[in-house]
Amino acid sequence: MTAPAKPADAVRDASPGRAGAIADGVVRSVGPIVLAFLFCGLLLLLLGRDPLAFYGNIVTAGVLRPSGLQDSITRMAPVLLIAAGLVIVFRANLWNLGTDGQFLFAAAMVAGLGPIVLAVVPGPIGWLFLMAVAMAVGAMWTVIPALLKARYGINEIITTMMMTFIGVGVANLLVKGPFKGTTMVPQTAVVPKALMLTDIPGTSIHIGVFVALAVVVIVHLALTRTSFGTRLDVLGANPRAAVHLGIDVQRLTVTAFALSGALIGLAAAVDILGIFGYMRADWNPAYGLKVVPIVFLARLNALAIVPFAIFFSIVSIGGEYAARQASLPSDFILYVVGLILIFMVITQYLSDKRARGERILPRRAAKAAADV
Question: Which residue, 162 or 243, has its beta carbon nearer to another protein?
Answer: 162
- By the rule CB under 8 A, 4 interacts with another protein: yes
Q: Is 303 in the site for another protein (CB under 8 A)?
A: no
> In the bound complex, what is the minimum distance in angstroms from residue 169's beta carbon to another protein?
3
**Smallest separation (angstroms) from another protein to the CB of 98:** 11
Q: Please identify, among the stretches 41-49, 52-60, 218-226, 242-250, the one whose residues bind another protein according to the rule CB under 8 A.
A: 41-49
Which residue from 290, 297, 309, 317 is in contact with another protein, where contact means CB under 8 A? Answer: 290
Nearest distance, CB of residue 356 and another protein, angstroms: 11
**Closest to 21 measured CA to CA, from 32, 33, 35, 9:** 9
Tell me how far CA of residue 185 lies from CA of 44, 331, 332, in angstroms: 36, 25, 29
* Euclidean distance between CA atoms 318 and 247, whole angstroms: 45
H helix runs in 226-304, sequence order: 227-237, 239-244, 249-271, 288-297
Minimum CB distance to another protein, residue 237 (Å): 15
* Segment (H or E) for 154: none
**Contact indicator for 359, 47 with CB cutoff of 8 Å:** no
Q: Which listed residue (79, 254, 292, 322) binds another protein by CB under 8 A?
A: 292
d(Cα 99, Cα 106) in Å, to the nearest integer?
A: 11
Among 242, 266, 298, 336, binds another protein (CB under 8 A): 336
Q: Does 339 bind another protein (CB under 8 A)?
A: yes
Q: Which amino acid is at 139?
A: A
Q: Which residue from 317, 310, 287 is spatially nearest to 67, judged by alpha carbons?
A: 317
Q: How far apart are CA 219 and CA 81, in angstroms?
A: 10
86 contributes a contact to another protein by CB under 8 A: no
| Interacting span for another protein (CB under 8 A) from 119-127, 187-195, 244-252, 284-292 | 284-292
Print the SS3 string covering 38-63: HHHHHHHHHCCCCHHHHHHHHHHHHH
CA–CA distance, 105 with 136 (Å, rounded to integer): 11
Rounded Cα distance, 234 and 216, in Å: 21
**Cβ-proximal residues to 348 (8 Å cutoff; 6+ apart), any chain:** 3, 4, 28
* Closer by beta carbon to another protein, 133 or else 337: 337
Minimum CB–partner distance for residue 32 and another protein (Å): 10
Out of 148, 190, 237, 310, name the contact with another protein by CB under 8 A.
148
Residue numbers 205-264 binding another protein by CB under 8 A: none
Near another protein by CB under 8 A: residue from 57, 72, 96, 159: 159
29 binds another protein (CB under 8 A): no
For binding to another protein (CB under 8 A), which residues are involved? Answer: 1-4, 43, 47-49, 95, 97, 144, 148, 152, 154-155, 157-159, 161-163, 165-166, 169-170, 172-173, 176, 289-290, 292, 296, 327-329, 331-339, 341-342, 344-346, 349
